[in-house]
Structure 1
Amino acid sequence: MSKKLNIGLFGFGVVGQGLYDITVSRNLNLEFKKIAIKDPSKKRTLPAELFTTDQWEILNDPEINTIIELINDADAAYEIVSFALKNGKNVVSANKKMIALHLEELVQIQRDNGTSLLYEGAVCGSIPIIRNLEEYYNNELLYAVSGIFNGSSNYILSKVFNENQSYNDALKKAQELGFAETDPTLDVGGYDAKYKVAIATAHAYGLFVNPDDILNIGIQNLQNSDLQYAKEKGQKLKLVPVAKKQNDSEVSIYVLPKLVKKEDFLFNVENEYNGVSVQAAFADQQFFFGKGAGGHPTGAAVFSDISALRYDYRYEYKKSLIEEKIKFNNEEIIQVYLRFNAESLVKKLPFIDIEERFSCKQYHYVVGSIKLDDIFKAKRLILDDGAFIADTGNYVSEKAVEVIEEVCSNID
């Protein structure tokens, strides 16, 4: 039998309103006791006595046993969530930055206090990827988890690629539709996708990684020449986060634009939709597709977590408890397309092998093999040059592997 949830809700924006709409349409054993907001002067459709600007009115209310956190401020969200968990209240959150930055600590707080933090809505909107990684794949050997995790950047790429819109026009439209923030760096710079893949990695591999250590380069330097290159190859450009096993004990994690081939599931994921690909040893490749942005899609994921709390559900993080721990290592070699402005940038990047090079008056690029860690170290140089870098998705040439093996053997 389900227990009654007395809910304190933090945030009543697009997702908060969407969640409320979904919840009141269902006859479940739960009640919204209080909703914390920042602006009390804003006109709302619900009774004024339901709202408060004092977070402690909710957090210190003994009748409220469930906290729903849907605010943008990661620091404030952490204060709310950690306090609630330590004081016997279960929590549902959609704040991917807060969760990614503090996940290992929040897992320990749950274990110490017997409380539960659920966050399906923090990763890929309406797609139930966290619950699937946690439950369905809990004993599965996963080779890779990747996909399109950010609806804002995917919307922009769809418009510039399919409709020949300018990058700035597509970005402005994404902002008008509420897919992108006023400061779009979180989305187009790959930070949002980085936080999400860090969270997914904890469930896929039992690995807690500081997001600051994960490479992320986004689409902010995209130019028409990059789109033309992809079109001539019969491919599309997508912003793709990847968590991939290099061997039995190491995982590489990164976010880069990727040249996606027609046979790839991600090729047809457009606009604000997300897609998650899971490559497993036994189940082979499986693909999840759904809306990654919007009040009702994300609200539906939050609502699913609320429903699960009625039966005392909690994540168990089973893969983090195994003795042979997986380690994070971005020593993997990948092949990239790099369009650049200054030749000095190519000279500063330690390419292992350059397979293709082109240069004319206003367009210069190379295709070559390089370590992820070397891209990470050169991130500022790449962005400051106005360069655009993308994973080609191709296997690294045998020549490149031979070169790196020879270098390593000489060092040994």
Structure 2
Amino acid sequence: MKNINIGLFGFGCVGQGLYETLNNSRNFAGEISKICIKNADKKRKLPSQLFTTSKEEIINDEAIDIVVELIDDADAALSIVVAALKAGKSVVTANKKMVAENLEYLVELQQQTGKAVLYEGAVCGSIPIIRTLEEYFGHEPLNEIKGIFNGSTNYILTKIFEERLDYPKVLKEAQELGFAETDPTLDVQGFDPKFKLSILLTHAFGIHVPPSHITNLGIDRLKTADLEYARANGHTIKLVAQAKRIGEKVFGFVIPQFVQPDQTLANIQNEFNAVTINGEFCDEQLFIGKGAGSLPTGAAVLSDISALSYDYKYEYKKHYNLGKLPFSNQSPIQVYVSYNSPEQVDLSDFESIQEKYFSFDHCYIIGNICIGKLQKAEWRNNQNINIVLTPEGCQKGLGNLCVSDLKEEISELKKGQKIRERITI
């Protein structure tokens, strides 16, 4: 194996983790030749000649074999990746937002240039889930993929439940440890695991689903009353991303869930991630690893660099070899919805209501609501309303068409029939 010269963009938490893991690896022949950063005046421990503020200095350097992109800005990251591919360089990235929003384009660009983009570090930290889906499950039909995809929120939820700490205090601690960003919105509102789920849908089911089509709810609205409800019923709460194939459709979402103590995900603590895969032949598989932190993610990036040194590429087997399954949000799930006063929630949005509770300072209902209806409901944007999937969650309703959507579908069919009748006449 030849010595690999790496051009690195970004030297934050993950970039520094990559530098440390690379320099302490005994089985990799390579080095970082140049690092592109935004702030040239910031003091750093490495020699100043290693840094540059010019993107072109890396992209146009023929001696650099692989470009590694580890910056936060998704638009800037896409520009770097596209420029590198067109310059004949393969790329490693950990920017899940950029990959999720542009994956279909990136797949096409890889075909056009003959170069590869690898992004294991963008999904679930140290768990090699993408390569596992590509290689081990490349030809096996999967029924479901789900799990805890965000180490920051899992750390926060663990501390809240195990140590009964307040949310603001735990969030600050997670930020100080490097598990959560200075702006934690992507983590605590469920956007980060949604980007990851969007990427995994391509590798697990062969479909490109833009993140905007996936419903996501976070943990930032959890109230003390919600935690008390969970404890009283013997549950914990986890932020779970999941996608399930039922018949010829795939359903997916990211929603906090009440998890029973005998379920696998209940025992995943702190910054660890977990992914469960259910296949037609293998049944259920479980993968656990650290999902946040400098070194775990840096190690995943280094693994991708090593793979590129052997000319590895994602083959996207299911995307090219399977019939395209439609992604759907038109199915009911059972949720617990807590709020301050009855007028805050439009109960007509629900397919059915199983339980209601009202008091002076806390109200909740448990009912079935269509995923798509939940995504569009105006009241769900109210910061005083919290939504959690029940343990029954999607076990009973998922795969069934919502009544409201069934009516719309029948109406559309009738319209189509009338049009055909007119044409026939």
In angstroms, what is the RMSD of aligned CA positions? 2.0
Corresponding position of 1:287: 286
Corresponding position of 1:364: 363
Secondary structure at 1:275 match in 2: strand
Secondary structure at 2:350 match in 1: coil
Secondary structure at 1:75 match in 2: helix
Q: 1:341 deviation in Å?
A: 2.2
Say if 2:167 is the partner of 1:172. Answer: no
Structure 2 CA distance for partners of 1:118 and 1:401, relative to 1, 3 Å: closer
Question: Structure 1 CA distance, aligned partners of 2:404 and 2:191?
Answer: 33
Secondary structure at 1:352 match in 2: strand
Q: 1:20 deviation in Å?
A: 1.1
8 Å CA contact 2:81–2:91 kept in 1: the answer is yes
Question: Structure 2 CA distance, aligned partners of 1:14 and 1:170?
Answer: 20
8 Å CA contact 1:146–1:243 kept in 2: the answer is yes
For 2:148, the aligned partner's letter is I
Q: 1:50 deviation in Å?
A: 1.0
8 Å CA contact 2:70–2:93 kept in 1: the answer is yes
Structure 2 CA distance for partners of 1:396 and 1:206, relative to 1, 3 Å: closer
Corresponding position of 2:49: 49
Question: Structure 2 CA distance, aligned partners of 1:402 and 1:357?
Answer: 24
For 1:343, the aligned partner's letter is P
Corresponding position of 1:314: 313
Question: Structure 1 CA distance, aligned partners of 2:132 and 2:69?
Answer: 22
For 2:17, the aligned partner's letter is G
Corresponding position of 1:151: 151
For 1:143, the aligned partner's letter is N
TM-score in terms of structure 1 length: 0.95
8 Å CA contact 1:221–1:383 kept in 2: the answer is no
Q: Deviations over 1:369-396 (max 9, x none)?
A: 1110010001x42231511111113156
Question: Structure 2 CA distance, aligned partners of 1:64 and 1:396?
Answer: 51
Corresponding position of 2:419: none
Structure 2 CA distance for partners of 1:402 and 1:206, relative to 1, 3 Å: closer
8 Å CA contact 2:331–2:401 kept in 1: the answer is no
Alignment of 1:320-335 (within 5 A): 320-322=319-321, 324-335=323-334
Question: Structure 2 CA distance, aligned partners of 1:316 and 1:403?
Answer: 36
Question: Structure 2 CA distance, aligned partners of 1:71 and 1:103?
Answer: 17
For 1:18, the aligned partner's letter is G
Mean Cα deviation higher: 68-77 or 339-348: 339-348
8 Å CA contact 2:332–2:401 kept in 1: the answer is no
Structure 2 CA distance for partners of 1:401 and 1:5, relative to 1, 3 Å: closer
Question: Structure 1 CA distance, aligned partners of 2:328 and 2:405?
Answer: 20
Question: Structure 2 CA distance, aligned partners of 1:59 and 1:105?
Answer: 20
Corresponding position of 1:278: 277
Structure 2 CA distance for partners of 1:348 and 1:86, relative to 1, 3 Å: farther
8 Å CA contact 1:151–1:293 kept in 2: the answer is yes
Secondary structure at 2:115 match in 1: coil
Say if 2:380 is the partner of 1:382. Answer: yes
Structure 2 CA distance for partners of 1:43 and 1:282, relative to 1, 3 Å: same
Question: Structure 1 CA distance, aligned partners of 2:20 and 2:132?
Answer: 26
8 Å CA contact 2:22–2:31 kept in 1: the answer is no
Percentage identity across paired residues of the two chains: 48
Q: 1:34 deviation in Å?
A: 0.6
Secondary structure at 1:321 match in 2: helix
Runs of 4+ with >4 A deviation: 395-398, 400-403, 405-412
Mean Cα deviation higher: 132-141 or 381-390: 381-390
Question: Structure 2 CA distance, aligned partners of 1:342 and 1:57?
Answer: 59
Q: Deviations over 1:122-146 (max 9, x none)?
A: 0010011111111111111111111
Return 5+ residue gaps in structure 1 as ranges. Answer: none
Mean Cα deviation higher: 36-45 or 15-24: 36-45
For 1:152, the aligned partner's letter is S
Structure 2 CA distance for partners of 1:149 and 1:349, relative to 1, 3 Å: farther
Question: Structure 1 CA distance, aligned partners of 2:67 and 2:240?
Answer: 32
Corresponding position of 2:86: 86
Question: Structure 2 CA distance, aligned partners of 1:50 and 1:282?
Answer: 50
Say if 2:182 is the partner of 1:162. Answer: no
Q: 1:185 deviation in Å?
A: 0.9
8 Å CA contact 2:336–2:366 kept in 1: the answer is yes
Secondary structure at 1:115 match in 2: coil
8 Å CA contact 1:345–1:382 kept in 2: the answer is no
Structure 2 CA distance for partners of 1:287 and 1:402, relative to 1, 3 Å: closer
Q: 1:349 deviation in Å?
A: 4.8
8 Å CA contact 1:205–1:320 kept in 2: the answer is yes
Secondary structure at 1:126 match in 2: coil
Structure 2 CA distance for partners of 1:45 and 1:352, relative to 1, 3 Å: same
Q: Deviations over 1:229-285 (max 9, x none)?
A: 1111111111111111132x2111211000111121110111111111111111111
Question: Structure 1 CA distance, aligned partners of 2:193 and 2:405?
Answer: 35
Q: 1:3 deviation in Å?
A: 3.7
Corresponding position of 1:192: 192
8 Å CA contact 1:356–1:368 kept in 2: the answer is yes
Structure 2 CA distance for partners of 1:152 and 1:385, relative to 1, 3 Å: closer
Say if 2:106 is the partner of 1:106. Answer: yes
Question: Structure 2 CA distance, aligned partners of 1:137 and 1:258?
Answer: 27
Secondary structure at 2:33 match in 1: strand
Structure 2 CA distance for partners of 1:19 and 1:349, relative to 1, 3 Å: farther
Question: Structure 1 CA distance, aligned partners of 2:268 and 2:105?
Answer: 34
Question: Structure 2 CA distance, aligned partners of 1:275 and 1:397?
Answer: 24
Return 5+ residue gaps in structure 2 as ranges. Answer: 414-425
